[in-house]
Amino acid sequence: MGTAATTSLPTRSARVFGPGNRLVWAMLLLLTVYLAGLALPSDDLRPVVNGWLGTITQWIPAALCWRAVYRSGFRRMLVLLAGAAVTVFAASNQYYVLALGDGEALSFPSPADFGYLLFYPLILGALAILVSRQLRALPRAVSLDSAVGALGAAALLAALLSPILLAAQAGGFSLATAVATAFPLLDLVLVAAVVGVASARGLDVGGRWGILVSGLLVFAATDVIYAEQIAGDSYAIGTLLDGGWAVGLTLIALWVDGLTRPPGAVGRRLTGVLSLIVPVVATAAGVLVLLLGTQVRLSLLAVVLATATLAGASLRTAVAFRDLGRMADLRRQARTDDLTGLPNRRALYLDVPLRLASGGPRSALMLLDLDRFKEVNDSLGHDVGDELLVQVGRRLADQLRTRDLLARLGGDEFAILLDDAGPAEAEAVAATVQAALAEPFTLAGITLQTSVSVGIALYPEQSDNLTGLLRKADMAMYKAKAGGTGHHVYRSSDDSHGDARLRTVQELRLAIHEDQLVLHYQPKIDLPTGQVNCVEALVRWQHPARGLLQPGQFLDLVEESGLMHAMTHVVLDKALDQAALWRAEGHPLAVAVNLSARSLLDAELPARVRAQLSSRGLPTSALTLEITEEFLLNDRERAQEILTQLRETGIRIAVDDFGTGYSSLAYLRDLPIDELKLDRSFIMPMADDARAAALVSSIVDLAHSLGMSAVAEGVEDAVAYDELVRYGCDQAQGFHLSRPLPVADLDAWLLLRRAAVATA
């Protein structure tokens, strides 16, 4: 093996090359000169280039590594192993150069060759430490993808190295043969390890992973070309090939240096389309190797690795089909009420907007609530109450047309969407339903009679969306219950809080303009590492008379009164101001901000958000926008346009409360989404409900298979936290970890958290 040099470096690591880092700049300058010297045909320069210049270009990366070891206090085994690998290679090369300079005839293998060989286990050990703590949290499918990718890469490289391996085998066993064979075999293991890690979606590999991968692949490629030239007796010292080893060492050293620098960017997770392509390409490589084996002689190792690749791909396909079947079954269960077998609330939120958009010009939503149902539960027991609900569901279904939708919302509440129905038709159906439910029920040998109160809201006269229809049908239902009329069609006068609402709207206008809105922040814990890289900004209203008001006390009114655009602007300003302050203090945190469906209808939103980030000098990665499924449902084309504009700037997009609304796989496929936030209704019952736990596990796998992150909301206990870690969930937030906190309290909490993580 020979001396070395470097190549162009990824621009995304610009922090490494700051003007204050003289050692890095000196290294790059000398490497550039060295490469130029290798490229020049001048014989006069050869002794200098191949001698001290080549030596320096390898010792400077070693020095950079040991500076990183010193910065880490000699406590990080990852940094120590990588630094030792670079150093042992440089020392071996030093011996090689000195021996040649003395005119010594080097035997093969020489002490330098054993030093070169030591580089591989050291750097592979560093890679193992990088990912070992996270491997247990990887889903099975991701582990299989990683294995198939590694095997495919190894098979392809083994096929390329077959002439060398076959020649070594034909030469019989000797120490020289063993060492000569070890180099290509260790390169094979190195490439397989790199590709395997690159295939593992969800691994946190640090912000400069691309530099390390580039260095290792350049290093391995140089080894392979060197081995082929040695086998063909065509290798000559002082060619550009010698620069390949220095390229690899320099890139590895830059990566090691970055591991101990002050945090400027959060660790990077391996996600996206590339990681999904790797197993496919690996499978194709395995097939190609086996086909090639029918035409030329390949080493047994190449054939075995290719066969193992196809076996792993077959197993991965079987797992994928099983997961798809399970997902389809779980999705059906998630849309069905366990007790009655009717569609549930989730199905209602999924189907009604589609029906309204594609149905006739008018519809009616009916909300039904059984009268005095609590008395049945209290006097006869919940088992009798459950049986009553089952029979009520059957009778309701018997009164409806096949094109009408009946769903159980929970408890004793049912909803009916009547297709092509106005107020007269809706009232007629309500009367029919009341009469059907007035007939006696026989339960556990007891005859019961019940009644129902029905509230009716009309589409599109009274609302053009499901949320508005439900709210108004609910007010109408309570009007019917209070008046004993049985059913009631919503009227504007039913809103008994009209005067108070008008006063509150005026107070909200003042609150927005007089800085009465404040933000509390809830940390999002990175489950594999325990670190906090992002917080969610949650708005509160510091009312001058009523004190601190929670979002549920005023956000609906903000939405209805058309103040959401103004409030969104204020919340974004405050959140980004705080993000800029954290960054200036040396502890950068990304912030997540919730946006309503109405805010996302603003065509100027992408440009305004970009301007808000730019004016504070914040990178787009400092902001995540959380949107609701309602927006994705109501206007798919509009969602595609707005989200694409936002995503193209680098802003992350998260779907909030995933699973409570329009949980269609179609929008996950079509829209640029980075993150799924599992609603607390999935997380909270995990400990006692196997189906809820299965849904969480499947949604996490689904997110990862689409290159998205999975975030759990509402983590209220250690059991849920541990289960989420086991399922491979990426982040979590909830009261078990921290409540939403004011800035001062959050800063104190973060100090304690960082200390706990550092000593863990």
User: Once rounded to an integer, what is the mean pLDDT over residues 715-725?
Assistant: 91
User: Domain check: are 545 and 613 in the same one?
Assistant: yes
- 130 versus 525: the higher-pLDDT residue is 525
User: Domain check: are 324 and 398 in the same one?
Assistant: no
The per-residue pLDDT of the chain, averaged, comes to 81
Name the residue among 425, 415, 426, 427 with its Cα closest to residue 466: 415
pLDDT at 316 exceeding the cut of 80: no
The enclosing domain of 474 has a CATH number of: 3.30.70.270
User: Domain check: are 381 and 514 in the same one?
Assistant: no
- 197 versus 204: the higher-pLDDT residue is 197
User: Domain check: are 535 and 634 in the same one?
Assistant: yes
Please classify residue 244 by burial: count the beta carbons closer than 10 Å to its beta carbon, then call 0-12 exposed, 13-18 middle and 19+ buried.
buried
pLDDT at 414 exceeding the cut of 70: yes
- d(CA 540, CA 519) in angstroms, rounded, equals 6
Which residues, in sequence order, are CB contacts of 100 under 8 Å at separation 6+?
106, 237
Which of 90-104, 405-419, 597-611 comes out lowest in average pLDDT? 90-104
- For residue 93, being part of any structural domain is answered with yes
Question: What's residue 443's pLDDT?
Answer: 80
pLDDT at 178 exceeding the cut of 90: no
Question: Contact at 8 Å (CB) between 488 and 480?
Answer: yes
Question: What's residue 499's pLDDT?
Answer: 57
Which of 137-146, 361-370, 574-583, 608-617 comes out lowest in average pLDDT? 137-146
Which of 14-23, 87-96, 503-512 comes out lowest in average pLDDT? 14-23
The predicted-structure confidence for 659-683, as pLDDT tens digits, reads as follows 665 445 667 777 888 999 988 888 8
List the end-to-end C-alpha distance of the chain, in Å, as a whole number.
42
Structure tokens at 36: 């130029």
- 18 versus 473: the higher-pLDDT residue is 473
- 191 versus 526: the higher-pLDDT residue is 526
User: Once rounded to an integer, what is the mean pLDDT over residues 745-755?
Assistant: 91
- d(CA 758, CA 414) in angstroms, rounded, equals 52
- For residue 470, being part of any structural domain is answered with yes
- d(CA 756, CA 760) in angstroms, rounded, equals 6
- d(CA 540, CA 338) in angstroms, rounded, equals 37
- 510 versus 277: the higher-pLDDT residue is 510
Question: What's residue 236's pLDDT?
Answer: 77
- Which of 164-173, 373-382, 388-397 is most confident? 388-397
User: Domain check: are 631 and 687 in the same one?
Assistant: no
User: Domain check: are 706 and 744 in the same one?
Assistant: no
User: Domain check: are 144 and 180 in the same one?
Assistant: yes
Question: What's residue 286's pLDDT?
Answer: 78
User: Domain check: are 595 and 482 in the same one?
Assistant: no
User: How many domains does the chain contain in total?
Assistant: 5
- d(CA 355, CA 191) in angstroms, rounded, equals 53
- For residue 329, being part of any structural domain is answered with yes
pLDDT at 19 exceeding the cut of 50: no
pLDDT at 263 exceeding the cut of 60: no
User: Once rounded to an integer, what is the mean pLDDT over residues 239-256?
Assistant: 87
Identify the three-state secondary structure at position 410: strand
- 733 versus 644: the higher-pLDDT residue is 733
Query: Which among 472, 495, 518 is the end of a domain?
Result: 495
Indicate the helix (H) or strand (E) that contains 177. helix 175-199
Is it true that the peptide bond before 460 is cis, omega within 30 degrees of 0? yes
User: Once rounded to an integer, what is the mean pLDDT over residues 164-174?
Assistant: 60
pLDDT tier at 293 (50, 70, 90 boundaries)?
Answer: confident
The predicted-structure confidence for 495-520, as pLDDT tens digits, reads as follows 655 456 668 888 999 999 999 999 99
User: Domain check: are 182 and 322 in the same one?
Assistant: yes
The enclosing domain of 590 has a CATH number of: 3.20.20.450
Question: What's residue 591's pLDDT?
Answer: 97
Which residues, in sequence order, are CB contacts of 624 under 8 Å at separation 6+?
534, 590, 591, 592, 593, 651, 652, 653, 654, 674, 675
Question: What's residue 282's pLDDT?
Answer: 75
DSSP code string of 133-159: HHHTTS-HHHHHHHHHHHHHHHHHHHH
- d(CA 245, CA 6) in angstroms, rounded, equals 8
Which of 188-202, 298-312, 578-592 comes out lowest in average pLDDT? 188-202
- For residue 569, being part of any structural domain is answered with yes
What does the H/E/C string look like for 248-266?
HHHHHHHHHHHHCCCCCCC
- 215 versus 145: the higher-pLDDT residue is 215
Question: Contact at 8 Å (CB) between 700 and 668?
Answer: no
pLDDT at 531 exceeding the cut of 80: yes
User: Once rounded to an integer, what is the mean pLDDT over residues 548-560?
Assistant: 82
- For residue 666, being part of any structural domain is answered with no
- d(CA 698, CA 706) in angstroms, rounded, equals 12
User: Domain check: are 506 and 426 in the same one?
Assistant: no
Model pTM greater than 0.85? Answer: no
Question: What's residue 520's pLDDT?
Answer: 96
Q: Strand (E) positions, 296-426? A: 363-370, 405-410, 413-419
User: Once rounded to an integer, what is the mean pLDDT over residues 585-589?
Assistant: 91
User: Once rounded to an integer, what is the mean pLDDT over residues 432-460?
Assistant: 88
What does the H/E/C string look like for 182-206?
HHHHHHHHHHHHHHHHHHCCCCECC
Which of 78-82, 120-124, 171-175, 433-437 comes out lowest in average pLDDT? 171-175
Question: What's residue 394's pLDDT?
Answer: 93
Neighbours of 664 (CB within 10 A): 16
DSSP code of 269? B
Q: Give percent of the chain with pLDDT exceeding 70.
A: 81
pLDDT tier at 725 (50, 70, 90 boundaries)?
Answer: very high
User: Domain check: are 710 and 752 in the same one?
Assistant: no
Range of the domain at 4: 1-137+207-267
Question: What's residue 14's pLDDT?
Answer: 44
pLDDT at 692 exceeding the cut of 80: yes
- For residue 339, being part of any structural domain is answered with no
Question: What's residue 20's pLDDT?
Answer: 47
Q: Give percent of the chain with pLDDT exceeding 90.
A: 26
- For residue 190, being part of any structural domain is answered with yes
Query: Which among 495, 513, 543 is the end of a domain?
Result: 495
Question: What's residue 311's pLDDT?
Answer: 83
Q: How many helices (H) and strands (E) does the chain have?
A: 28, 16
- d(CA 94, CA 74) in angstroms, rounded, equals 25
- d(CA 531, CA 753) in angstroms, rounded, equals 8
Q: Strand (E) positions, 460-605? A: 487-489, 517-526, 532-543, 547-549, 590-594
Question: Contact at 8 Å (CB) between 343 and 393?
Answer: no
- 445 versus 587: the higher-pLDDT residue is 587
Question: What's residue 555's pLDDT?
Answer: 84
Please classify residue 389 by burial: count the beta carbons closer than 10 Å to its beta carbon, then call 0-12 exposed, 13-18 middle and 19+ buried.
buried
Please classify residue 718 by burial: count the beta carbons closer than 10 Å to its beta carbon, then call 0-12 exposed, 13-18 middle and 19+ buried.
exposed
User: Domain check: are 329 and 356 in the same one?
Assistant: no
pLDDT tier at 760 (50, 70, 90 boundaries)?
Answer: low
- For residue 669, being part of any structural domain is answered with no
User: Once rounded to an integer, what is the mean pLDDT over residues 41-59?
Assistant: 77
Counted residue by residue, the chain has a size of 760
CA dihedral 349, 352, 356, 357 (to 10 degrees): 60
